[in-house]
Amino acid sequence: MTKTSNYPLIIIGAGAAGLAASEMATRRGVKHRVLEASHRTGGRGLTEMLADQYPVDLGCHWLHSGSINPYTQWATKLGFDYPISKWEFSMFIDGAWYSDTDAAAPFRYIDEINWRMEATRKKGGACSQWDLADSDHQWNQFFQYWVSLMSSVDADQVSILDICEYRDTHEDWPVMKGYGALIAQQGVDCPVDLNCVVTKINWGDLPISIETSQGVITADRLVITTSTGVLNAGDIEFNPKLPSWKMDAINALPLGNSNYTFCTFEPDAIDPDAPDHILWQRDDQTFWVRLREFGYPYAFTSTGGRFAWWLEKQGQDASIELFSDVMVDIFGSRVRDKLSNFKVSAWGMDPWIRGAYSATQPGKIGMRTELARSIDNRLFFAGEATSPDSFSTAHGAYQSGHRAINQVCDSLS
């Protein structure tokens, strides 16, 4: 980038939304560039190698709602395999395998709460998900953990609307070579400037002036795909300030946190007949443990909500020790020395994202629509938080990028 460059369109952020916006802008013949603060593309999609052998996703992991997910088509086109299968799980609770054969009971409880949420929404309610749960129910602890994974916040911090409005086909397919790698590959031809930190946006007059770590760039239209975590933190200065209705939407859709811990295990560490999916629960802690994904000798689990924030702040060793303790509780003390090559995500500390994915605060209505609304046909917004029915997902971000460019083109016509 030269010290001062001018483009019809600038896109801020090269995650799923920004890369999709770039793809659509190219398709529609709009000259543009994408400014990315990080050293890489992909945003919250990040695939890294575990033990230099196995691609694992530290962010976006599943092709959610696979049959209607646009990345499924990209995966097929680009040669990224994704196994389609239903999986069974076993439960290890308070130090023993759970003998009840009704393994579907935890999810039936979730379905029951979901029905309550839908009934409440139809009456105009927008309370927290916690308000409709049974605090003394056998599976309420599992429900709380599940919400923390789905929403990246705890049940008292997220509105029932995020369940009622989410479009879910219950098809969740992992990507063998990595979902993050797929997102990056989809956008490999996009005109991206890496390590380009946007510090200030002067949008009161045209052209819009964007101050960055690599100089000043001007544009007639600007698509902002920055996370609500970064927008909430005020890392980008807006001149003039964003209108109050836009800030209300940003504040109502904060990022929670969710992290993965991976490790490999030696061939004799775990009985080959052990289940691949285990719901582990002891005292007030719950974890979902997955083994041998794609047949590879590794295990992983995930955290969400307040606990994910707390654990991340303790450092990676705390996550490693905790996951090791869980594995020992299930498989015995001999397994501890057979676990290695740990890899832990830390999305809360990523300065270019500041969390996992957005959650609608209880009592807030229509905020995702407001976040997606453009300002004066100059500033346009995209990202998972703007999706009306696929928020918290990569494909929701992707679709929002297309939507934003269509809005840009309408404003130019």
Q: Provide the percentage of residues in the chain whose pLDDT is more than 70.
A: 99
Q: How far apart are CA 394 and CA 385, in angstroms?
A: 10
**What residue ranges define each of the domains in the chain, with the CATH number in brackets?**
4-41+187-254+358-412 (3.50.50.60), 85-170+256-349 (3.90.660.10)
pLDDT at 85 > cutoff 90: no
The torsion angle over the Cα atoms of residues 235, 238, 243 and 248, rounded to 10 degrees, is: -10
Q: What is the pLDDT of residue 1?
A: 53
pLDDT tens digits for range 162-215: 999 999 999 999 999 999 999 999 999 999 999 999 999 999 999 999 999 999
Q: What is the pLDDT of residue 359?
A: 98
Q: How far apart are CA 177 and CA 185, in angstroms?
A: 11
Q: How confident is the model at residue 118 (pLDDT cuts 50, 70, 90)?
A: very high
Q: How far apart are CA 82 and CA 411, in angstroms?
A: 38
Q: How confident is the model at residue 100 (pLDDT cuts 50, 70, 90)?
A: low
Q: What predicted TM-score, i.e. pTM, was given to this entire model?
A: 0.96
Q: How far is CA 352 from the centre of its chain?
A: 14
Q: What is the pLDDT of residue 163?
A: 94
